[in-house]
Amino acid sequence: MLKSEKKSLFRFLALYTMMVIFMIMLLSLFYYQSQEKLMLSDQRAMLTKYAYIHTKRLKVLHHYFDERREYPRDPRFKSAIYDLEYMKIFSLLEEQNVRFDEEIYIINNHIHLVKTLDEFYLGAKYLVVEVKDSGAWRGEIWKNIIGYGFLALMFFMLFGLYFAKMFLKPMRDSIVLLDKFIKDTTHELNTPLSAILANIEMMDTEVMGEKNKTKLARINIAAKTVSVLYRDLTYLTLDHEKGNQDETIALKELIYDRTEYFSVLALSKHLECNLDLEEASITMDRRKFTRVIDNLISNAIKYNKRNGMVGITLREGMLLIWDTGIGIKEENIPFVFDRYIRFNETEGGFGVGLSIVKQILDEYHISIEVQSKEAEGTRMVLRW
């Protein structure tokens, strides 16, 4: 699966999972509430019976209040009486917090039934009957919620995965098509490009007139530009699958070598090269480091102004490539390493160069910092 495809799939699944979890939680809440209501309706019948019995006792106490002062007690339940103004007349409740806005409710593992009396014996308008809630019903509900919730989550995840793949298929097809096209094009480029470059090297420039020398230089530049592109595409489609052949690279020599290679390109734009190179080394695949350097130098040249400057500073653990070119808009900087992203269409290319650079640097845990100002220039700082 492609990286971009994976990213899209992951994002979709993350969002989908959150939605599914939210939906399951909501359904669980409704289920829990309905089960609680069911349990309370079972309890209501019993508590109403207790309330009825207790009301009779209160009636007796009311009539004999001059002689008796003992509040009636029952081992099966606790009770309390409140007057019209919700003032407590007497209470045996374990849970003293009483809600008068509900007829039956659960509070701190106690079930309360609030019964409104028709006749206010002892001045009591509300009779509260309390029994303990064992909580056994809750265990059963949780078991169901967790069990069925998990099953539903699994089902929806599989469903989501199937849908995500279905929705991503058009994107995948277009990317595969583009990759296939690039792969095929790359193969076709190899032979003619090698022939052009080899013949340019072999040409005897001493017997040529100045006009022809200039023409040859132009052909050389064009061929080298295509060559960089060709190598990027080859790397992208074939090379990066090969194993690394890491070695300690003397960077100063390599950078000299690569600047020499691009010197014709720089000269064509009348660019001034500023090299400040100290001895430094790095352990990595030479081929890959060359791709990084080639891309960064060729970008610094390509996106530069005429008579501009290109500079390379090398220190142990740090490489800086800077230019006085067109720069990158601030809002575009986070996307410079995305594949097929190009902010300037004036120069040729597929927009794969910096994507390759990032891929290689990430592989070797080398950081890259992009500092750029539009119309002023760009600085790429590599640290390892």
Partner 1 sequence: MVKYIVIIALSVSGLYCQDAYERHCVECHKELPTSLQEMFKRYLLVYSGEQNVKAGLKHYLKYPLKEISVMDDLFLENYGVKEKTTLSDSDIDEALDIYWDKFKVFNKLK
Q: By C-beta, is 118 or 201 nearer to partner 1?
A: 118
Q: Binding of partner 1 at residue 12 (CB under 8 A)?
A: no
Q: Binding of partner 1 at residue 22 (CB under 8 A)?
A: no
Q: By C-beta, is 89 or 226 nearer to partner 1?
A: 89
| Structural contact between residues 327 and 378, judged by C-beta atoms closer than 8 angstroms | yes
Q: Binding of partner 1 at residue 322 (CB under 8 A)?
A: no
Task: Rule CB under 8 A: choose which of 94, 119, 140, 253 binds partner 1.
Answer: 119
Q: By C-beta, is 60 or 178 nearer to partner 1?
A: 60
Q: By C-beta, is 68 or 218 nearer to partner 1?
A: 68
Give the E-state strand segments of 43-137 in sequence order.
78-82, 88-91, 104-107, 110-116, 126-132
Q: By C-beta, is 70 or 331 nearer to partner 1?
A: 70
Task: Rule CB under 8 A: choose which of 16, 105, 120, 343 binds partner 1.
Answer: 120
Looking only at the bridges linking them, the beta strands covering 104-107 and 126-132 are unpaired
Give the C-alpha separation, 352 to 288, whole Å.
14
Q: By C-beta, is 82 or 303 nearer to partner 1?
A: 82
Handedness of CA 303, 304, 306, 311 (dihedral sign): negative
Of 272, 356, 367, the closest CA to residue 320 belongs to 367
Give the C-alpha separation, 25 to 21, whole Å.
6
Numbers of helices and strands, H then E, in the chain = 6, 12
Of residues 81 through 100, those in contact with partner 1 by CB under 8 A are: 83-85, 87, 89-90
Least Å distance, CB 94 to partner 1, is: 18
Q: Binding of partner 1 at residue 69 (CB under 8 A)?
A: yes
Distance from the first to the final alpha carbon of the chain? 30
Q: Binding of partner 1 at residue 80 (CB under 8 A)?
A: no
Give the C-alpha separation, 19 to 17, whole Å.
5
Q: Binding of partner 1 at residue 124 (CB under 8 A)?
A: yes
Interacting residues with partner 1 (CB under 8 A): 62-63, 65-66, 69-71, 83-85, 87, 89-90, 119-125
